[in-house]
Structure 1
Amino acid sequence: MATKMQHQLLFFDIDGTLLSNATHQIPESALSAIAAAQKNGHLVFINTGRTIRTMPSFLKTLGFDGYLCGCGTRIVYHDEILLAHSFTEEEGQLLIDLMDKWHIEAFLEGSEDVYCKRGAYRQRIMNQVRKSFNDKGLGLSCFIEDRNFIYDKFVLVSDNQADSDAFIHEIESFIDVIDRGKGMYECIPKGFSKASAMHLLAEHLDISMDNTWAFGDSSNDLPMFEAAAHGIAMGEHSPVLEPFSEMITDTVDNHGIAKALLHFGLI
């Protein structure tokens, strides 16, 4: 159990962990608990698959000590950028060529914007997600066909016209692919993950990984749970997290974060 004499590093996923899937807000109990943890000398970080650009902007006003974004491709500690990794121009172009070859529909996520097809996607869900990006001012600057941008990671959703197996086979030498279920795959440069970012940050701060805590709910949180000394799964969570969970707390809306921080003496 942590004590106030030890600085602990607390890492939080966003959707389904910090943010309620029902209200899309952070419960007041979680905000108060996180602030109390910081007052006790602990450092709190968002650790998300979202790029820094697609992270909800209001999160940056809430006093977190930093952000680990894009599945470990960008690390920000206070105002210092510790890591910023993107695909090379050559890698980015090759990936787009392979997407065309295997009829893959994807969103390409960069630190400046999200890049979508110019025209309509085949899949309704892709058009719905694109609209949600557009409503936030994202995905409007240029399009995948323009090929004049740099990106950090991408998400694809497969359908019966796409050969996702063939595509993944061609990219797996330099891309780590996370199966998010229902035909959705999150694709990150090989060697980068929520875990790699945690290790780099802990080394930078000279704090042992024994003092790390992961809070999450979904399958892309698995590397974070494997790396952390302590894993706390939310009340609604992917079963893959359970072998690495020290506690299954309550749901976001039922004050799961506050209950876990109190249980372990972090507040």
Structure 2
Amino acid sequence: MKGLVFFDLDGTLLNNKSDVDPDVIELIETLRKNDYEPIIATGRTIFEIKHVMEKTGISSIISMNGQLGIYRGKEVFEKTMDVEVLKRLKEMALSRNEHVAFYNADRIGITGHNDTARKAYELIHEPVPGIDGSMYEKEKINMVLVLSETGDKGYMEAFPELSFIRNGPASIDIIPKGGSKAAGIKTFLETLKISGLPTYAFGDGLNDIEMFELVDYGIAMGNAREALKEKASYVTETNMNNGIEQGLKHYHLI
């Protein structure tokens, strides 16, 4: 293996319909033939992106903002959330007429449906998850989303033991304090005892900032948030204008 290349999904590897274009699939295959390991690094769970993994052939993933790591189809690590913390978070959200979505590798359960929840999932071209407000009592939970358009500071003050990442206008990603895509990648590399190989990452969102600080080369999409572009080693074209191809060619990976 010559190196590892981490790809965010929405706004990066995927098009604006949250699907993967045929030319991107070909790029991933060429990358693999050139002996570089393509790895998805996403805020989403595996349950949501099976179609992407099947189309691209990518079987390595850092999912749910660093909460679960899989290398070539085998689990490397998993981090879960505390049940009592989840209970308090649910109570606070419901008291504000907001909802919580609970995530693990197999499914998503949400406390209820409203316009904000529908907006959050429409933005990623996914149906609103089925209602299961007690999912956290029955199953391990790796990540949660609060479906909210405002009030981030209130949640942060009430839960100093958690990390909050606003990745869209209608939702906040929530994981244990210190968790991130970068933390997941670090655990992934340490567990597999991978060192001395160059690491690259493509991204567009605020949850990619720490990932860019960790890898050797951070490639920001042309449509990326300005804060991420400031951390990037290179800014490529947009996800809809051959940005992945340009970035890979810039570093002679294909």
Instruction: Give TM-score, length-normalised by structure 2.
Output: 0.87
For residues 110 and 10 of structure 2, the distance between their equivalents in structure 1, rounded to whole angstroms, comes to: 22
CA apart distance, 1:44:
0.8
Give secondary structure in 1 for the equivalent of 2:172: strand
Q: Distance in 2 between matches of 1:36 and 1:48?
A: 22
Equivalent-residue separation in structure 2 for 1:101 and 1:80 (angstroms): 40
Query: Percent identity between the aligned chains?
Result: 25
- Deviation at 1:34? 1.8
Q: Of the candidates 180, 183, 188, which is equivalent to residue 201 of structure 1? A: 188
Match for 1:34 among 25, 28, 38?
Answer: 28
Q: Secondary structure at the match of 2:13?
A: coil
SS at match of 2:47: coil
Structure 1 stretches (4+) deviating beyond 4 angstroms?
128-136
Q: Which has the larger radius of gyration?
A: 1
Distance 1:266 1:159, change over 3 A: closer
Q: Which residue of 1 aligns with 2:158?
A: 170
Give the conservation status (yes or no) of the 8 Å contact 1:210–1:228: no
Query: What 5-or-longer segments of structure 2 have no aligned partner?
Result: none
- Once the two structures are superposed, the pairs formed by residues 14-163 of structure 1 within 5 Å of their partners are 14-21=9-16, 23-118=17-112, 120-121=113-114, 124-129=115-120, 139-140=129-130, 143-145=132-134, 147-159=137-149
- 1:109 alignment partner AA: Y
Contact 2:201 2:211 (8 Å CA) reproduced: yes
Whether contact under 8 Å (2:116, 2:170) holds in the other structure is no
Choose which of 210, 217, 220 in structure 2 pairs with 1:223.
210
**In 2, Cα distance between equivalents of 1:132 and 1:56:** 18
Mapped partners of 1:192, 1:171: distance in 2:
14
In structure 2, relative to structure 1, the CA distance for the partners of 1:100 and 1:231 (3 Å cut) is: same
After superposition, residues 180-199 of structure 1 pair within 5 angstroms as: 180=167, 182=169, 184-199=171-186
Distance (whole Å) between structure 1 residues aligned to residue 188 and residue 225 of structure 2? 26
Query: Could you tell me the TM-score, scaled by structure 1's length?
Result: 0.83
Answer whether contact 2:40 2:60 (CA < 8 A) is retained: yes
**SS of the residue aligned with 1:204?**
helix
Count residues in correspondence.
253
Unaligned runs of 5+ in 1: 1-5
Aligned CA RMSD, in angstroms, stands at 2.7
Higher relative contact order (CA 8 A, sep 6+): 1
